Amino acid sequence: MTRKNNFYQAIYQEKARNNELVYKKPDSLIHFLEHDIYKSPFLDMSSKLKILEIGCGAGSVFNQQSNDKYQITAIDISEAAIFHAKKTSAGHINFKVMDITDFQREPGEYDLLFDSHCLHCLTDQTSRVNFFKNASQLLKPGGMLTLEAMVNHSRMTFDDRFTYQDNILIENNKDIRFIPHSRELEEEVLRNGFEICYLRVFETLKIIPDSQRSEALASDPDVMRVMAKRK
């Protein structure tokens, strides 16, 4: 297990010990599903699809989908998070403890890979390259990778306990988020063998990088959404 995996394992384990491990659907991801993915002309969401949710945490954004519509697998690196998800989520979702940067499965297995805010938690280059490499291998030809990630902007600021340098947000000497410019993220997706079908940056939608705060600020990172096909 990598150092980064140990970091997130510790967070979930502490929450579990303190009975604070509760899944809250990320509003922005639900918005992404309902307004972009479900209505996309690039993916037939009315058909029976095989879906992999990456970095699901303690639950799944697909929890309300009926059993006979999609075949859903949801993965996370945290054993504590997956244990909670199995206890509290719908039975039609197959939850597994797995790491997308070290993921061994049959190639070409999935129609859709849905990133639940995993990519912007990968701060080292090796992990990010492996993310895209494994995503490409797991998708069927023409399969879709969907991403919602933090991107920086000129008015972005952070509280004093954070440091931001070289696109990396640091808290207590730990790299916690990768927040590039939107153009850099676009180039990264293309460089790793995907064809972008949809890309949008939302200046009015924000992802809160501070776990101690629940209200978004104008200074928080912007939201970038991408739908990209495996070539």
- Could you give the angle at the alpha carbon of 40 between the alpha carbons of 106 and 86, nearest 5°? 50
- Could you give the angle at the alpha carbon of 54 between the alpha carbons of 36 and 35, nearest 5°? 10
**Model pLDDT for residues 47-89, shown as the tens digit of each residue:** 889 999 999 999 999 987 666 778 999 999 999 999 999 988 8
Residue pair 96/75 in contact (Cβ under 8 Å)? The answer is yes
Q: What is the pLDDT of residue 192?
A: 96
Q: Rounded to the nearest 10 degrees, how much is the dihedral formed by the CA atoms of 187, 189, 191, 194?
A: -130
% of the chain residues with pLDDT over 70: 89
β-strand pairing of 162-165 with 168-171 = antiparallel
Q: What is the pLDDT of residue 2?
A: 47
Number of domains in the chain: 1
Burial of 55 per CB tally in 10 Å (0-12, 13-18, 19+): buried
CATH number, residue 44? 3.40.50.150
Range of 194's domain?
Answer: 3-60+67-210+219-230
**Model pLDDT for residues 14-56, shown as the tens digit of each residue:** 666 767 677 777 889 999 999 999 999 998 888 889 999 999 9
